[in-house]
């Protein structure tokens, strides 16, 4: 059992002081996840990767969270979801400030790890992803880990405890499903 898994177990058992020991162990990886998410934004963007990490971490280890992680993989999946929700909240806030701020249609070719979406496009993806979570939670977790956390096929497989082939199939299916859900008939790029 890794140090991260042990500390997560202590937090699960109510020892929230363990959260202080957790941050140094996961900070670099969380920072990388946040950097992946923020890479497509303009340089003067008001939300920075460091702020995204700290906000996600605060949400994850809050005593009010009620979250229980069985392993490092579950924790990083939860971190990806938390970052997604923060970005969605931020995008909604920005759109509310605009006169004609509404969601924009997303091209399926943009649903790839290599080409992150802009915050406005995250809203449409978020709505579709919530629907996918209701029908197939594992495929939604694959999207969270691949797209929002920027993990490779192999790392995603390790986090979820499934084979790389299953991740590949789930990733392809989820991208196609999300594209249909967002009413976009373009081909999916590999």
Note the pLDDT tens digit of each residue in 25-56: 888 888 887 877 677 555 656 677 788 888 88
Q: Domain for residue 101, yes or no?
A: yes
Q: Domain for residue 29, yes or no?
A: yes
CA atoms within 13 A on the CB side of 111: 31
Structural domain of 169:
3-181
pTM: 0.64
Q: Domain for residue 123, yes or no?
A: yes
**What is the token pair recorded at 68?**
């229980």
Rounded to whole angstroms, the Cα distance separating 110 from 166 reads 22
Q: How many domains does the chain have?
A: 1
Q: Domain for residue 186, yes or no?
A: no
Any long-range contacts for 59-67 (C-beta under 8 Å, 24+ apart)? 59/85, 59/86, 61/11, 61/16, 61/19, 61/22, 63/16
Cβ partners under 8 Å of residue 87, min gap 6:
37, 47, 52, 119, 122
Q: Domain for residue 111, yes or no?
A: yes
Lowest mean pLDDT among 24-33, 70-79, 148-157, 168-177: 70-79
Lowest mean pLDDT among 42-46, 74-78, 179-183: 42-46
Q: Domain for residue 188, yes or no?
A: no
Mean pLDDT of all residues in the chain? 75
Chain Cα centroid distance, residue 90: 14
pLDDT beyond 90 at 171 = yes
Q: Domain for residue 53, yes or no?
A: yes
Q: Domain for residue 187, yes or no?
A: no
Spatial CA neighbour of 83 closest among 111, 121, 119: 119
């Amino acid at each position: 059992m890794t140090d991260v898994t042990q500390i997560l177990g202590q937090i699960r058992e109510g020892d929230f002081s363990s959260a202080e020991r957790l941050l140094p162990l996961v900070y670099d990886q969380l920072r990388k996840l946040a950097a992946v998410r923020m890479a497509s934004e303009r340089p003067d963007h008001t939300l920075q990767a460091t702020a995204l990490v700290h906000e996600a971490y605060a949400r994850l280890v809050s005593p009010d969270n009620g979250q229980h992680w069985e392993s490092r993989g579950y924790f990083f999946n939860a971190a990806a979801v938390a970052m997604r929700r923060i970005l969605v909240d931020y995008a909604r806030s920005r759109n509310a400030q605009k006169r004609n701020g509404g969601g924009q249609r997303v091209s399926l070719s943009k649903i790839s790890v290599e080409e992150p979406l802009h915050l406005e496009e995250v809203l449409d993806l978020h709505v579709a992803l919530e629907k996918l979570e209701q029908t197939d939670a594992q495929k939604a977790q694959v999207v969270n880990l691949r797209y929002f956390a920027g993990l490779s096929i192999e790392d995603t497989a390790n986090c979820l405890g499934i084979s790389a082939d299953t991740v590949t199939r789930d990733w392809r299916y989820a991208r196609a499903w999300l594209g249909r859900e967002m009413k976009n008939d373009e081909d999916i790029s590999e």
